[in-house]
Amino acid sequence: MIKARPWVLVVRGIVVLAVFGIGYVVRAITSPSAGGRSRRGVKIITVADGTASQTIPASGTIEPANQRSAMFATSGTVATVAVTTGQSVTQGQTLATLQTAPLAAAVAQAQAQLANAQAKLSADEAAGVASTTLAADSAAVNAANYSLSIAESNLSDATLKAPISGTVVSNSLTPGLQVSGTVNAAGVAPAVTIISANSWIVSAAVSSANIAGVTDGEQATISPQGSTTNVFGTVSSVGLVATVSGGVASFPVTIAITGSPSGLYSGLPANVSVVTRVQANVIEIPILAVHSLRSHPFVIVDSGSTQRNVAVTLGSTIGANVIVTHGLAVGERILERVPTFARTLGAPTLGRGGTKRGKRGAGGIGAI
């Protein structure tokens, strides 16, 4: 009889222990959920109702809701400029003026032409001239009246006034500059641009995959770049024509910021979360509390001394949570699995106190 060497016996023992260990782990993983299971790696949460919502991400730029450019409507030479960039102005305040002497002379000339036309008409009527001559005289009076109104309008337009109250953000007018009431040789009309700092919008872009969930009037949370304080707004318009960049189509969405928050300025980047599909008085639980999610979903209800499997009907998935439409009642206590990495980071395991879920959605875009 051949005796096994001691080191061979040791190896055999290790192999046997390994086989038994693997079998234990497999059984632990594949065994069905039932009462009396181990409570390690889970925690108790208390079912509560609340309001669930989904959020759709977007990015954009903060812009003033009201921006106007004021420019001279008539030709002339700029005489004075009364404002500078950064200055606050009120509606109707004088921004700049043109030299009025040429414009006033044009008014005087038009008045003289009108007086002459009216005098001729009166003389011809008194002389009893032919009707065709009187008709021509009347046409001349009308033309002179029109010329006078144009000249008076040009003189009035020599004073440029602020169309809105706000802050001057650009000013291309300087004394001595020739303006023509239209664009200059460079294709730009010299003007004063004013923005209202009391109202803001976000010009955002939403991907084609998410745009179907965005409609006018929905609430939005806005995170301006560099700010630790969020502002809020509502969707005011959704564009119908997409732009494509890098093979990704996105649609323009305009969001009106609520109120008059401070610290905003034109061109400031911002991240936006559009709140959509708000559902009130619903039960929302973590997905990790649901077993057999894709076939016959159920949760494990803990009554203190016993645990039981309860079938549930699921609704929308919202981020890491899911809405339960049937099977659970407010106040029941259920088990939620704690991922291994969360336990490693010190997440709480099962305790008698439990935690409440369902007061708010976890955000993100869920599948229905």
62 inside domain = yes
253 pLDDT higher than 50: yes
Average pLDDT on 318-325 reads 85
Q: How confident is the model at residue 365 (pLDDT cuts 50, 70, 90)?
A: very low
Average pLDDT on 126-130 reads 91
CATH number at residue 224: 2.40.30.170
Q: What is d(CA 101, CA 341) in angstroms, rounded to the nearest whole number?
A: 82
pLDDT at site 281 = 82
| Same domain? 101 vs 174 | yes
287, 288, 294, 297: CA torsion to nearest 10: -90
| Same domain? 186 vs 264 | no
30-39 per-position pLDDT tens digit:
333 333 344 5
85-125 per-position pLDDT tens digit:
999 999 999 999 999 999 999 999 999 999 999 999 999 99
340 inside domain = no
| Same domain? 204 vs 168 | no
Domain boundary among 162, 195, 228: 195
154 inside domain = yes
pLDDT at site 85 = 93
Task: Give the range of the structural domain holding residue 241, as residue numbers without chain letter.
Answer: 56-66+197-278
1 pLDDT higher than 50: no
| Least confident range of 73-82, 113-122, 230-239, 353-362 | 353-362
| Same domain? 115 vs 205 | no
7 pLDDT higher than 90: no
266 inside domain = yes
Check residues 50 and 123 and name the one with the higher pLDDT. Answer: 123
| Same domain? 201 vs 165 | no
Contact 216, 238 (CB under 8 A): yes
| Least confident range of 53-62, 186-195, 302-311, 317-326 | 186-195
29 inside domain = no
219 inside domain = yes
Domain boundary among 278, 312, 339: 278
265 pLDDT higher than 50: yes
| Same domain? 137 vs 231 | no
347 pLDDT higher than 70: no
CATH number at residue 84: 2.40.50.100
| Same domain? 205 vs 260 | yes
4 pLDDT higher than 70: no
142 pLDDT higher than 90: yes
pLDDT at site 266 = 86
pLDDT at site 341 = 55
pTM value surpassing 0.85: no
105 inside domain = yes
| Same domain? 116 vs 177 | yes
Q: How confident is the model at residue 24 (pLDDT cuts 50, 70, 90)?
A: very low
pLDDT at site 260 = 82
Domain boundary among 278, 294, 327: 278
Q: How many domains does the chain have?
A: 2
| Same domain? 183 vs 78 | yes
16 pLDDT higher than 60: no
| Same domain? 139 vs 237 | no
Q: How confident is the model at residue 275 (pLDDT cuts 50, 70, 90)?
A: confident
| Same domain? 72 vs 182 | yes
Rounded to the nearest integer, the mean pLDDT of the chain is 81
pLDDT at site 315 = 86
184 inside domain = yes
| Same domain? 81 vs 170 | yes
